[in-house]
Amino acid sequence: MTNDTWSSVLHGGISTFMKTPIIQPKRDIIKNEGVKAAVIGIPFDGTTITRPGSTMGPRKFRDVSSSVIPYHFDYDVDVVKAFNLKDCGDVDVKIGSGYETVQRGKDSVLEILHGGAMPVIVGGEHLVTVSGTKAVNEFNPSGNYGFIMFDAHFDTATDIDGDKWSHCCPVTRTMELNCFKPENTVIIGPHGPTNPKAELEYVIEQNISYFTMRDIYKQGIEKIIEEAIKIASKDTDGIYISIDMDCLDSSHSPGTVAPTPGGMTTREMILAIERLGKEDVIGLDVVEFAPPYDHPDITAISAVRFVVDFLGSIASRKNN
């Protein structure tokens, strides 16, 4: 198999993220391999209350990643080499059980962290974010981490019909962890008639910061991101980033669980990621893109771009 740039984008061979090798999510393997970032999928959408299909996200994410090359022109870095990037495959989810799936995901992500690598989680529904935040909490329970979420929704339901482990609850469950605090939490992008008042009231009661789409319209994404970083980085050891693909306008991201008009543009997200990559990122996830509605892979291609941009921005900071 040749290693030249153009051969690498051909649709051949086993589908892995950017054709990187698959390794098991075991700390000793990750450490011995010298991996600095690892992708792991959590293909679960068992609690979705809108459109199903995000369970297919990780597979499509890997497939469309063959259209990008390791060298990132904007940052002048080879992201695969910079992180010795590897693909840890998918978590063996528990069909019908959000809680058990979160626990299994947490165990795998924790192995990545203990191996010295940054986890990049691909969903799946937004509940899988809690696998990442729970892993960070167990990895460093005495630490203090910021949390920034891009989403058209607050996702702060206390439960859905008595079930606490729902894709409407990732922020609520994260705020119950020792190392994440409301005062270092920021939600970017909520808007429209899809946010229950009770979820807004939770945000206000907990003193969680939020910037709506109208804030972005009026102030611009650069100013919003600077404010978000000030909040999330104040006296913290790093920041966890979660991107729900429905934060983008539905014309930019049609293949999501809950497409919403009036959201962010792809360009605005790329600018946000460029700035966020300059911070200490403990982990990140990209969730809630649903391939069955995604013609012609617009949303999946953007999800891949966001991850590669994050890696490029982080690598550029570390190289300078």
pLDDT band with cut points at 50, 70 and 90 for residue 232:
very high
Question: Which tens digit of pLDDT belongs to each residue from 237-262?
Answer: 999 999 999 999 999 999 999 999 99
Answer yes or no: is pLDDT of 69 > 80. yes
**Cβ atoms of 139 and 110 closer than 8 Å:** yes
Answer yes or no: is pLDDT of 2 > 60. no
Average pLDDT over residues 76-104: 97
Q: By mean pLDDT, which of 64-68, 102-106, 216-220 is the weakest?
A: 64-68
Q: Provide the β-strand partners of residue 119.
A: 38
Q: What confidence score (pLDDT) does residue 154 get?
A: 98
Q: What confidence score (pLDDT) does residue 8 get?
A: 62
* d(C-alpha 30, C-alpha 117), whole Å: 7
pLDDT band with cut points at 50, 70 and 90 for residue 320:
low
274: amino acid identity, one letter: E
* d(C-alpha 190, C-alpha 14), whole Å: 38
Q: What confidence score (pLDDT) does residue 6 get?
A: 64
Domains of the chain and any CATH numbers? 7-319 (3.40.800.10)
Mean pLDDT of the chain: 95
Return the structure tokens found at 307: 């991850």
Answer yes or no: is pLDDT of 281 > 60. yes
**Beta-strand (E) ranges in the chain?**
37-42, 71-72, 77-78, 86-90, 118-123, 145-150, 180-188, 209-211, 239-244, 281-287
Select from 263, 145, 147, 279 the least CA-distant residue to 208.
147
Q: What confidence score (pLDDT) does residue 4 get?
A: 53
Q: What confidence score (pLDDT) does residue 224 get?
A: 98
Q: What confidence score (pLDDT) does residue 318 get?
A: 78
Answer yes or no: is pLDDT of 295 > 90. no
pTM for this structure? Answer: 0.96
Select from 212, 300, 311 the least CA-distant residue to 252.
300
Phi, psi for residue 39 in degrees, rounded to 5? -90, 135
Q: What confidence score (pLDDT) does residue 9 get?
A: 66
* d(C-alpha 84, C-alpha 294), whole Å: 30
Question: Which tens digit of pLDDT belongs to each residue from 118-144?
Answer: 999 999 999 999 999 999 999 999 999
Answer yes or no: is pLDDT of 180 > 90. yes
Average pLDDT over residues 262-286: 98
